[in-house]
Amino acid sequence: MTLFDDDLGTGVEHQPGDDDPDLVRVRLVVAYDGSPYHGFAANPGVATVAGTLQRTIERVLRHPVELTGAGRTDRGVHAWGQVVSFDAPAAGLDLGALQRSINKLCGGTIVVREAAVAPPDFDARFSARSRTYRYTIVNRPVPDPFLAATSWWVDQPLDVAAMRLGCDPLIGEHDFSSFCRRPKDRMIGTEDDGDPGPSLVRRVIDARWDDEGDGVLRFTIEATAFCHQMVRSIVGTLVDVGLGRKRAGEVAGILRGRDRSLAGPVAPPQGLCLWRVTY
């Protein structure tokens, strides 16, 4: 997945002072290897990033916490700059000790890179102005075992110049229906019940391919929000362009068509990383 920001969190902003003046808002910047987890969002019965992190924080602080994340990633998707927030008692709070304890207990698959007290009105999800994702491709005849867990191996040569041209139509505000998986929850509206469902209009600030050398290609995209599988669908389509299966000029038409069948396949999850959240 792609990060789909619209269905994470309670939807209600809460400030520590609303109920208990002795609570402070804590902000963590978190990196994780998504390989062993069934996505970010808590899901009973399976291991998830948020579920594991929340249980670990509660174990260290010895009280329940309600965790809010900047966005939700699918199974197998990684993060370097995920942000979470929660409330904790100010008395005796040692953020350095909390960070060290979490990193030790999570065994390296989930790492707190930064820990700080945030303003009372900070919300990891609702305060975010944009999110940035990176997708890595290894474009060589032979795969790289040291990059396999964090990249998509494409053995056929890719036309990077054409893929860069295909990025241009994505910039700006558009309906990204062609690149998004439609929400299934009937409570928020689906195509099969006569309700068109939530808007899939998103504003993309930047989209580009960088050649890192030695066959490593990196796609970077920044947007105010993303819908389900949006980045992976865009990458799959642009790889089709790079392979000559589609022309760069077709991307604008695919976008205007608002039809998922017009786009390319969804790229594998392991190449995707939530790189940064901007506030």
**Using CA atoms, how far apart are residues 35 and 267, in angstroms rounded to an integer?**
15
- Comparing CA positions, the residue from 252, 209, 204, 251 lying closest to residue 227 is 204
Q: Centre a 10 Å sphere on the Cβ of residue 57 and count the other Cβ atoms it contains.
A: 23
- Torsion angle of the four alpha carbons 267, 269, 271, 275, in this order, in degrees rounded to the nearest 10: 120
Give 3-state DSSP helix, strand, coil % of the chain, rounded to 5. Answer: 30, 25, 45
Tell me how far apart the alpha carbons of residues 6 and 45 are, in angstroms, rounded to a whole number.
23
Which amino acid is residue 160, in one-letter code?
A: V
Active-site positions read 74
Tokens describing residue 92: 């005796």
- Tell me how far apart the alpha carbons of residues 180 and 7 are, in angstroms, rounded to a whole number: 14
Convert 60-107 into a string of H (helix), E (strand) and C (coil).
HHCCCCCCEECCCCCCCCEEEEEEEEEEEECCCCCHHHHHHHHHHHCC
Cα–Cα distance, 235 to 113 (Å, whole number) = 28
What is the enclosing helix (H) or strand (E) of 136? strand 130-138
User: Whole-angstrom Cα distance, residue 257 to residue 246?
Assistant: 15
Q: Give the single-character DSSP code of 37.
A: S
